Amino acid sequence: MSTNFVEPLEQFATNLLDNLADALVGKASTLRDGTEHAGVELPRDLYAHADAQTEWWYYTGHMQTASGRRFGFEFVFFKRRTDLDRFGVVPLRLIANPLYLAHFALTDESRARFRYDHRKSANTPFDPRAEMSESRYYLKLGDWTVREATDGRHLLRATLGDDLIFEVALRPLKPAALNGHAGVGVSFKDEGEASRYFSFTRMEAEGDITWGGETERCAGGAWMDREFGTWRTTEKQKGWDWFSLQLSTGAELMVYHIRDAQGRPSEFSSGTFVDAEGRSTHLSRADFVLVTTARWKSPHTGATYPGGWRLQVPRFGIDVEVTPVMQDQELDTRGTTMIVYWEGACRVRGRHDGAETEGRAYVELVGYDRSHEQPSITSFLFGGALDRRWRSIFG
């Protein structure tokens, strides 16, 4: 069919639906007020923000039960203002604004099993209740919650199916690291495009995990990333490889490559080194070398991911190998955040400042599956439920 005919129809439908959205839910905001590059303010910026387009609270950790069972976890809450989002001609704010999402994944290292779930809510009568407070640290989506105790600990609760309950308390052992070159928590993704970003790089973790009705005490360490803001996704931001390392020397390291469509790292790739005393140093793209040492192809989606790495930071004498505890740690979250990605628990071995070191890491790989470039409104509306039904039948 001639584009001379189709394009005017699409424009007509776009204008019609935009006018309908304006009438029903109000005009779309630009979500920019001139403060996009303001520094982080704590504790306020731990809480939710009314006008940030995207924000997340991201926990990863490595735990061991009293009986010796090892596992890793990823627990993340997202809030998305949808003023600027659309499915084709449909403004997403007609469906939800804001949209609340959460992911929880558990890597049972001892039994080589990976499980995850993902949720979303627009706080309609058909959705689980969601709340992300702007006046205190409290996140909720259904029975998944994060809140701050009076002593400053972060209290996490999540479930998987009807047979797993995860409840832990995390205590920061170091001050928040303010990521970004100026040391104020402003992290640029491209020219003029930045988020506010800080991390609690070492948290003491203890709590309970219930597997199939049996509860065990567990303890270990965790990492928390907090990022929020309104930034434009450019051609230089087609995916990323993100690493958080906790070394036995007491230091931590966060680095990431932002990749373009050809897989090349952007000059805006960066990181943060935190020494044993909690002092943070910004790392530019030139300060670290990241080399892929293995590949893994997903049997679920067909996407091929890096499956092992050598990471060097000559400035701090770091030369380590990062290896997944198991390769299959891929999450298909097309029913919520509309992407497929790999996020996994990893081991670390190598040298730091002239001495042997080991440690634990989490790695996130986004953009190796490209299905999000053609998002489906059907998959978004029903994908989560279909995913859970599929897993309940086939395990």
Inter-residue contact 166 to 209 (CB < 8 Å): yes
Nearest to 201 by CA among 271, 141, 303, 138: 271
pLDDT > 90: percent of the chain = 76
Inter-residue contact 104 to 96 (CB < 8 Å): no
- Quick check: 2 pLDDT over 60? no
Average pLDDT value for the chain = 91
pLDDT of residue 387: 44
- Quick check: 18 pLDDT over 70? no
Domains for the chain: give ranges and CATH numbers: 47-394 (2.40.370.10)
pLDDT in tens, 222-270: 999 999 999 888 888 889 999 999 999 999 999 999 998 888 999 999 9
46 phi and psi, to 5 degrees? Answer: -75, -25
For residues 9 and 143, what is the distance between their CA atoms, to the nearest angstrom? 44
Residue written as token pair 């469509």: 261
* Confidence band of 8 (pLDDT split at 50, 70, 90): low
Please indicate whether residue 317 or residue 21 has the higher confidence score (pLDDT). Answer: 317
- Quick check: 59 pLDDT over 90? yes
- Quick check: 118 pLDDT over 60? yes
Other C-beta atoms within 10 Å of 48: how many?
Answer: 22
pLDDT of residue 394: 36
How far the first Cα of the chain sits from its last, in Å, is 44
pLDDT of residue 9: 61
Eight-state DSSP code of residue 85? -
pLDDT of residue 206: 98
Q: What does the pLDDT average to over 193-208?
A: 97
Q: What does the pLDDT average to over 192-215?
A: 96
Extract the tokens encoding 62: 């490595």
Q: What does the pLDDT average to over 196-217?
A: 97
pLDDT in tens, 65-95: 999 999 999 999 999 999 888 877 888 888 8
The residues with which 330 forms a beta bridge, in sequence order, are: 342
Nearest to 283 by CA among 243, 246, 322: 243
Residue written as token pair 């999402």: 101
Q: What is the DSSP string of 212-259?
A: TTEEEEEEEEEEEEEEEE-----TT-SEEEEEEEEETTS-EEEEEEEE
- Quick check: 392 pLDDT over 50? no
